[in-house]
Amino acid sequence: MSMADGPGTQAHVGEALLYLTDEQLRQGIEAMYFAYRAFTADPDRILQGLDYGRAHHRAVHFINIVPGTTVNNLLSILGVTKQSLNRVLRTLIEDGLVESRVGRADKRERHLFLTEAGKELEHRLSDAQRARMRAAYRQVGPEAVAGFRKVLEAMMDPEMRRHYSGLREVRG
Amino acid sequence: MSMADGPGTQAHVGEALLYLTDEQLRQGIEAMYFAYRAFTADPDRILQGLDYGRAHHRAVHFINIVPGTTVNNLLSILGVTKQSLNRVLRTLIEDGLVESRVGRADKRERHLFLTEAGKELEHRLSDAQRARMRAAYRQVGPEAVAGFRKVLEAMMDPEMRRHYSGLREVRG
DNA sequence: ATTGGAATGTCAACAACGCTGACTTAAAGT
DNA sequence: ACTTTAAGTCAGCGTTGTTGACATTCCAAT
Our measurement of CA B123 to C1' D26, in angstroms, reads 52
Percent of chain B with pLDDT over 90: 77
Closest CA to B23 of B44, B37, B7, B34: B7
CB count in 10 Å sphere of residue A32: 24
Protein-contacted positions of strand D (CB under 7 Å)? 5-12, 14-21, 25-27
Beta strands in A20-143 (DSSP E): 69-70, 98-102, 110-114
- Which residue is nearest nucleotide C11, judged by alpha carbon to C1' distance? A83
- Cα A85–Cα A88–Cα A91 angle in degrees, nearest 5: 145
Given CB atoms, is A8 within the 8 Å cutoff of chain B? no
Nearest chain A residue to B5, by CA: A127
Beta-carbon separation of A137 and B152 below 8 A: no
Contact between B118 and B98 (Cβ < 8 Å): yes
Given CB atoms, is A71 within the 8 Å cutoff of chain B? no
Average pLDDT for B42-71: 93
How much is the mean pLDDT over chain A?
Answer: 86
**Could you say which architecture CATH assigns to the domain A16-155?**
Orthogonal Bundle (1.10)
* pLDDT at site B144: 97
* pLDDT at site A5: 44
Nearest-Cα distance to chain A for B169, in Å, is 12
Nearest-Cα distance to chain B for A96, in Å, is 24
Phi then psi for residue B48, to 5 deg, are -65, 125
- Cα B14–Cα A143–Cα A66 angle in degrees, nearest 5: 70
Nearest chain A residue to B165, by CA: A27
Q: Bigger pLDDT: A9 or B96?
A: B96
Phi-psi region of A22 (alpha: psi -120 to 50; beta: other; left: phi over 0): alpha
Which residues, by CB, come closer than 7 Å to strand C? A 70-72, 75, 82-83, 86, 89-90, 100, 106, 108-110; B 51-56, 58, 79-81, 83-85, 87-88, 105-108
Q: Is the pLDDT of residue A16 over 90?
A: no
* pLDDT at site B57: 96
Average pLDDT for A30-39: 95
- Counting other chains too, the contacts that A44-51 makes at CB distance below 8 Å and 24 or more residues apart are A45/A128, A46/A124, A46/A125, A46/A128, A47/A125, A50/A121, A51/A91
Q: Is the pLDDT of residue A166 over 70?
A: no
Q: Which residues contact B97 (CB under 8 A, 6 or more apart)?
A: B60, B114, B115, B117, B118, B121
Q: CA dihedral defined by B60, B61, B65, B71, rounded to 10 degrees?
A: -50
ipTM: 0.88
Q: Is the pLDDT of residue A14 over 70?
A: no
Reduced to 3 states, what is the DSSP secondary structure of residue B111?
strand
Contact between A63 and A98 (Cβ < 8 Å): yes
Please provide the distance, in angstroms rounded to a whole number, between the alpha carbons at the two ends of chain A. 39
d(CA A3, CA A10): 13
DSSP calls for B66-95: STTEEHHHHHHHHT--HHHHHHHHHHHHHT
Of 1.10.287.890, 1.10.357.10, 1.10.10.10, 3.20.20.300, the CATH number of B18-160 is 1.10.10.10
Beta-carbon separation of A137 and B36 below 8 A: no
How much is the mean pLDDT over chain B?
Answer: 88
